[in-house]
Amino acid sequence: MLPIFYDDAFQLHDTGFYHPENGGRLTAVAAALRAQPWADQLDWRSPTPVDRQGDRLTQALLRVHPRDYLEAVRALSNQGGGQIDPDTPVSPLTYDVARLAVSAWLDGVDVVHQHQCPAFVLARPPGHHALAQRGMGFCIFSNAAIAAYYALEQAGIQRVAIFDWDVHHGNGTQAIVETHPRLAYCSMHQYPFYPGTGAPTEQGHYNNVLNIPMAAGSTIEDYSPRLEQDVIPFLKGFAPDLIIVSAGYDGNQADPLAGISLQPRDYGLFTQACLDVSHAVLLGLEGGYDYNTLSQSVVATLEACLARVDIT
């Protein structure tokens, strides 16, 4: 069984009717997955509730975000919501939902590490743009970075690599992990594009960052050589005990927020590349705003997992 961490509560982060990062994204993906002929191989799991986390969740958040930022998000939610920046709304339940999303990523780390098989976190809000001291770009807390730091505290995990295939550069994730010698970050992203970071000269404090800018209009024919010649050698050279994937699907040709020309099936190839390095792969949703291609892409991702790994 392939674990999928999901909860209907993720719909309660209300971004407004016209915002592209909305709860319908998860509804569409969940419906597509449940319609697959292999749906009985999926193990749908609710994340550990926030009120049952004890200190685990708070400590994980505080490793990455200062307490004053956490309190600011909580206060904004409690007063009825508002804007962190023009793209990043906070609703009355955002603080609780964002913490539940982090809980799902932490649970995912535990399951992947225990079973050495992949898992998928179908949660929102996304996280890879969130900086330590402020959210931005639809993101509240830095989910992947939090999961990576948490993973380093688990017995048997010495190194964690993050592969970010979202069409936007994960500026927040990079800024948070690039100063740690046992964390690595690799990103393929449209460039120049929002948020303006991710140049190839950004290599981290320990040569632990690899940025691969892709031109608008790039297809899998452009991505494949860079994947084979750069991404896989970088990940294998780092020899991670766990790979975390910031799985954004806004590189699809049909996506309204970017200009890359990937197809949903291409994300199966990305997933296979990760599994070539390690079967201990935690994938978590980032972007993807066309419901149809988002759903098809997650299907391709999980098909690749089920085809390559004996999940029992």
Q: Which residues participate in catalysis according to the annotation?
A: 129
Q: Give me 203's structure tokens.
A: 């290599």
DSSP states of 203-236 = --TTS-EEEEEE-TT--HHHHHHHIIIIIHHHHH
Tally of CB atoms within 10 A around 256: 9
Residue 88 CA to residue 204 CA, distance in Å, equals 27
Residue 283 CA to residue 248 CA, distance in Å, equals 10
Q: Which residues, in sequence order, are CB contacts of 132 under 8 Å at separation 6+?
A: 64, 65, 66, 69, 142, 172, 175, 176
User: Three-state SS for 258?
Assistant: coil
Triad 259, 185, 245: Cα angle to 5°: 65
- Which parts of the chain fold into alpha helices (H)? 24-34, 55-64, 67-78, 94-115, 143-152, 171-177, 220-226, 232-238, 266-277, 291-308
Cα 75 to its chain centre, rounded Å, is 26
Residue 125 CA to residue 219 CA, distance in Å, equals 27
Residue 11 class from Cβ within 10 Å (0-12 exposed, 13-18 middle, 19+ buried)? middle
